[in-house]
C-alpha cells in the first residue's frame, strides 16, 4: 500500500503523474502565529484530534528571559501568545524546545513548564554533558523535561565523524539513567551518515528535527546526502522525525513539494515515527500562521484516522513520556 502513503522509496524516487490538489497558503494572521492502515474516514473539518501535541514551540520574552548583550533578540513571542496560538491550531499541549540564542540557559523552558504543568507541557533543554549533574537532570525531569537538543545547524557547526559520534555518546551516557529522555538532533541530513551506525549503541531515543533537515532543493530525497542513512535509522523504533518548519525547505507558498517527503515519513514504520511541530513563532519566517499547514498535513493523512492520531497525539505521548 505504498502508494497510499507517498511516492518516495528509500533508494528510489517517483511521483504520481496526476496533479496535486490545490493547497492552502501559509497565511499571515494577527497572532504570531506491511501492516496496512484501516481505510477509515474522519470529519471534513481538517483538524488534529483532541488532546494533540505541538512538539516544537519556542518562547521569546526578552524582558523575562533576557539575551546576552551581544545578541540581537528576535521579536517577542510570549507564553500568552503561545497559548492563544495553541488554541487556534488545535494543539493544546506543547513541547518547549531550547533556542540556540539562549545557549545553555534553560530558564525559559523550565519556567514555561511550571506554568503549563507536566500534563500539558514537555521540555527539551541544552546543556554541556561534561558539566551537568545527574541530580540537576532529575530535577528537570520532575518539571517535564524529556530531552536535550543538539543543534549543529543553527550554529553552522561542522564536526567530523568521530567528533559527532563522541558528542552523541556523551549525551547518551547522561540520558540513559533517566530512561525516557531523547536526543533532539538538528543537523544537516548528510550528518546522518555518521549518526546511523551509532543508533544501537546509544540506547536512547533520537528525534530528527525539521524533516530530518535536507540540505538542498528541489526535494528529491533519493538524491539528498544522508537519505539512505535516515531510512535505516527510521527502521529503529527509538528514532522519530518531526514534521515541522516547512518554510526552511520549500520555496512553494503552499509547500506542495513537501507532500511526497512527508508521506514517505508516514510510510516508515507505518507512521509510528512521526510527530508534528509548528516551530512557533517561526523565527526564520516571522508573521506566519501554521494553521493552513496543520490542515494540509491532516489532508496528507489521506483519511487514515490511525495515522492522524499517531502523528498529532499517540506518537508524541510515547516519545515525550506522557502518562
pLDDT 10s digits, 198-234 = 999 999 999 999 999 987 666 677 788 999 999 999 9
Compute the CA torsion angle 143, 108, 149, 259 (nearest 10 deg): 100
Between CA 103 and CA 116 the distance in angstroms is 23
CB 48 within 8 A of CB 91: yes
| Cβ count within 10 A of residue 302 | 15
pLDDT above 90 covers a percentage of the chain that reads 71
Q: What is the pLDDT of residues 251-288, one digit of tens each?
A: 777 888 899 999 999 999 999 999 999 999 987 665 67
Q: Which domains does the chain have, with CATH numbers?
A: 40-319 (3.20.20.140)
Between CA 194 and CA 66 the distance in angstroms is 36
Between CA 290 and CA 224 the distance in angstroms is 26
Amino acid at each position: 500500500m505504498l502508494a497510499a502513503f507517498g511516492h518516495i522509496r528509500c533508494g528510489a524516487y517517483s511521483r504520481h503523474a496526476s496533479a496535486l490538489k490545490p493547497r492552502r497558503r501559509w497565511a499571515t494572521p494577527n497572532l504570531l502565529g506491511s501492516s496496512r492502515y484501516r481505510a477509515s474516514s474522519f470529519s471534513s473539518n481538517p483538524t488534529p484530534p483532541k488532546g494533540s501535541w505541538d512538539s516544537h514551540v519556542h518562547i521569546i520574552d526578552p524582558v523575562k528571559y533576557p539575551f546576552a548583550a551581544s545578541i540581537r533578540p528576535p521579536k517577542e513571542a510570549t507564553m500568552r501568545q503561545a497559548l492563544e496560538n495553541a488554541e487556534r491550531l488545535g494543539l493544546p499541549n506543547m513541547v518547549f524546545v531550547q533556542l540556540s540564542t539562549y545557549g545553555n540557559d534553560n530558564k525559559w523552558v523550565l519556567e514555561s513548564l511550571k506554568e503549563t504543568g507536566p500534563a500539558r507541557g514537555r521540555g527539551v533543554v541544552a546543556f554541556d554533558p561534561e558539566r551537568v549533574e545527574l541530580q540537576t537532570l532529575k530535577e528537570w525531569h520532575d518539571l517535564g523535561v524529556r530531552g536535550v537538543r543538539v543543534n549543529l545547524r543553527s550554529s553552522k557547526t561542522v564536526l567530523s565523524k568521530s567528533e559527532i559520534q563522541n558528542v552523541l555518546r556523551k549525551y547518551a551516557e547522561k540520558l540513559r539513567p533517566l530512561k525516557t529522555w531523547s536526543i533532539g538532533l538538528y543537523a544537516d541530513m548528510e550528518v546522518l551518515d555518521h549518526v546511523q551506525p551509532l543508533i544501537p549503541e546509544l540506547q536512547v531515543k533520537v528525534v530528527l528535527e525539521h524533516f530530518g533537515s535536507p540540505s538542498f532543493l528541489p526535494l528529491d530525497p533519493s538524491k539528498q546526502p544522508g537519505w539512505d542513512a535516515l531510512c535505516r535509522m527510521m527502521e529503529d523504533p527509538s528514532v522519530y522525525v518531526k514534521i515541522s518548519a516547512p518554510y526552511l525547505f520549500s520555496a512553494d507558498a503552499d509547500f506542495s513539494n513537501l507532500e511526497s517527503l512527508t508521506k514517505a515519513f508516514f510510510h516508515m514504520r507505518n507512521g509510528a515515527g512521526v510527530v508534528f511541530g509548528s516551530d512557533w513563532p517561526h523565527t526564520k519566517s516571522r508573521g506566519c500562521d501554521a494553521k493552513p499547514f496543520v490542515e494540509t498535513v491532516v489532508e496528507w493523512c489521506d483519511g487514515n484516522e490511525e495515522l492522524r492520531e499517531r502523528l498529532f497525539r499517540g506518537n508524541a505521548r510515547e516519545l515525550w513520556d506522557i502518562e
